[in-house]
Amino acid sequence: MATKIFINLPVADLEKAKSFYTAIGFTNNPQFTDETAACMVLTEEIFVMLLEHSKFKGFTQREIGNTFETASVINCLSVDSIQEMNTMVDKALNAGAKESAEAKDYGFMQQRSFEDLDGHLWEVLYMDMAKFPQK
């Protein structure tokens, strides 16, 4: 079995967060969704768990950080084309996200960034290893 990743995010409004992640290409897995949490699936290996603050607090003794003021993690997704990168980020912006950094072009890699409705940071990148600089 392939290793799976579950990114747990505290959210202020579960329904708005579910709508946002659906708009950018995730699907909801109702088996792991209730009135306090939603399992949003991107691929067979990548899941985002949207947790109301009270539910999230059940998993940690720490305070929930203010993601609009501080950053502790940037979640990064790779995609198969520049068009796919642009489509995902454009969908995020149309669904209420904010572009959190200017687009970057490293020659072999293009990258765009956004913050979701709760201030969680995301990068979407396309890499063409055939263009990777040779040493």
d(CA 26, CA 39): 9
CATH 3.10.180.10 domain extents, the chain: 1-62, 71-135
Give whole-number Cα distances, 2 to 6, 46, 52, 88, 105, in Å: 13, 11, 28, 25, 31
1-62: CATH number: 3.10.180.10
Exposure class string for 62-88: b at 16+ Cβ within 10 A, else e: eeeeebeeeeeeeeebebeeeeebbeb
In this prediction the pTM is 0.92
- Architecture (CATH level 2) of domain 71-135: Roll (3.10)
- Report how far apart, in Å, the C-alpha atoms of 10 and of each of 1, 92, 125 are: 28, 18, 24
Q: What is the pLDDT along the chain (135 residues), one digit of tens a residue?
A: 789 999 999 999 999 999 999 999 999 999 999 999 999 999 999 999 999 999 999 999 999 999 999 999 999 999 999 999 999 999 999 999 999 999 999 999 999 999 999 999 999 999 998 888 887
H helix runs in 24-110, sequence order:
53-57, 82-94
